[in-house]
Chains A and B, each alone.
Chain A
Amino acid sequence: MEDELEQKIKDVMKAVFEISVGEIDEESSIDNIDLWDSMGHIKLILSIEKDFGIQFNGGEVVEMTNYRKIREIIQDKNKSA
Chain B
Amino acid sequence: MSEKMKFNVFIKGKNVDLVVLDEEAVEKTDWYNWFNDEENTKYMKHHYYPNNRAKQLVFFKSEIENNPKKLQVGIFHKKDKVLIGVISLNDIDFLNRSCNTGAIIGVKKYRKIFCYLEAYTLLLKHAFEQLNMNKISDGTLSKDVADFLIKTVGFKMEGVRRKEYYKNGKYVDFYLIGLLKEEFYKGGYDNIKIPSDEVMG
Bound-state Cα–Cα, A66 to B115, Å: 16
Choose among A58, A59, A66 the residue with the greatest number of B CB atoms under 10 Å from its CB.
A58
**Given the interface contacts A30-B200, A38-B111, A42-B113, does A62 sit within 8 Å of B195 by beta carbon?**
yes
Bound-state Cα–Cα, A38 to B192, Å: 15
Bound-state Cα–Cα, A39 to B142, Å: 10
Instruction: List the one stretch of B5-13, B64-72, B74-82, B143-151 in contact with chain A.
Output: B143-151
Residues of A close to B192: CB separation below 8 A? 58-59, 62
Residues of A close to B194: CB separation below 8 A? 62
Q: Which residues of A contact B (CB under 8 A)?
A: 29-31, 37-39, 41-43, 45-46, 55-59, 61-63, 65-66
Q: Which residues of B contact A (CB under 8 A)?
A: 42-43, 105, 108, 111-117, 142, 144-145, 147-148, 151-153, 188, 191-195, 200-201
Given B43, B117, B147, B188, which contacts A46 in the complex, CB threshold below 8 Å? Answer: B147
Bound-state Cα–Cα, A46 to B113, Å: 14
Give the A-B contact count at a CB cut-off of 8 A.
63
Closest 10 CB pairs of A and B: A58-B191, A37-B111, A41-B113, A58-B152, A58-B192, A42-B148, A38-B113, A59-B193, A38-B116, A62-B114
Residues of A close to B148: CB separation below 8 A? 42, 45-46, 61
Residues of B close to A42: CB separation below 8 A? 113, 144-145, 148
Q: Could you give 26 example pairs across A and B, Cβ below 8 Å?
A: A30-B200, A37-B112, A38-B105, A38-B112, A38-B115, A39-B111, A39-B142, A41-B113, A42-B113, A42-B145, A42-B148, A46-B147, A55-B151, A57-B191, A58-B151, A59-B192, A59-B193, A61-B148, A61-B151, A62-B113, A62-B152, A62-B192, A62-B193, A62-B194, A65-B112, A65-B114
User: Are B191's CB and A37's CB within 8 A?
Assistant: no
Choose among A31, A57, A61, A63 the residue with the greatest number of B CB atoms under 10 Å from its CB.
A61
List 9 extra interface pairs beyond A39-B111, A62-B152, A62-B193, CB under 8 A.
Answer: A30-B112, A30-B113, A39-B42, A43-B144, A45-B151, A46-B148, A58-B153, A58-B192, A62-B194
